[in-house]
Amino acid sequence: MLDNPHVAVTAAQQTAVIRFTIPREEIQKVMGPAFQEVMDAVAAQGLAPAGPFFSHHFRMDAKVFDFEVGVPVHARITAAGRVLASQLPATRVATAVYRGPYEGLGPAWGEFTDWITAQGLQPADNLWEVYAAGPETGPDSANWRTEFFRPLKP
């Protein structure tokens, strides 16, 4: 389910995002339209994405998701409506690649968290996932790839 879990250091990355604090069950309703809104705002400023879509979760709660969705960009954007400039952090992370349908993300994160703990590492409260290849690449979800990033406590 997970490819190549390991520890790495990320570089800071400028992003264009929309932030949400919503009930967990609403996530599927907001993500698609939010990605389109971000893309429209980025394009309106003459920019292009510098990588694939991502979601950055600031804390894990069983009922409420506090997160932002967006794309990396090469230059800081100007706020436009709900779309804001943000940044993925430069930090030490545990990272891995999940291959499969989005419905399997929950169990894959559980497996990844178990791997982190087994290494004697302590995860921070936040995490992000990058949707490297999804439905836009074809209907076979076995080919979809989601990159996991979990910052680590010192």
Q: pLDDT digits over 77-133, tens only?
A: 999 999 999 999 999 999 999 999 999 999 999 999 999 999 999 999 999 999 999
Distance separating alpha carbons of residues 2 and 100, to the nearest angstrom: 9
Whole-number average pLDDT of the chain: 95
Token digits for 102?
A: 């989005």
Q: How many domains does the chain have?
A: 1
Distance separating alpha carbons of residues 143 and 99, to the nearest angstrom: 7
Q: Domain range spanning residue 36? A: 2-151
Q: What CATH number is associated with residue 22? A: 3.20.80.10
- Write out the DSSP string of 91-119: -EEEEEEEES-GGGHHHHHHHHHHHHHHT
Q: What's residue 78's pLDDT? A: 97
Q: What's residue 13's pLDDT? A: 97
| Whole-prediction pTM | 0.93
Q: What's residue 28's pLDDT? A: 86
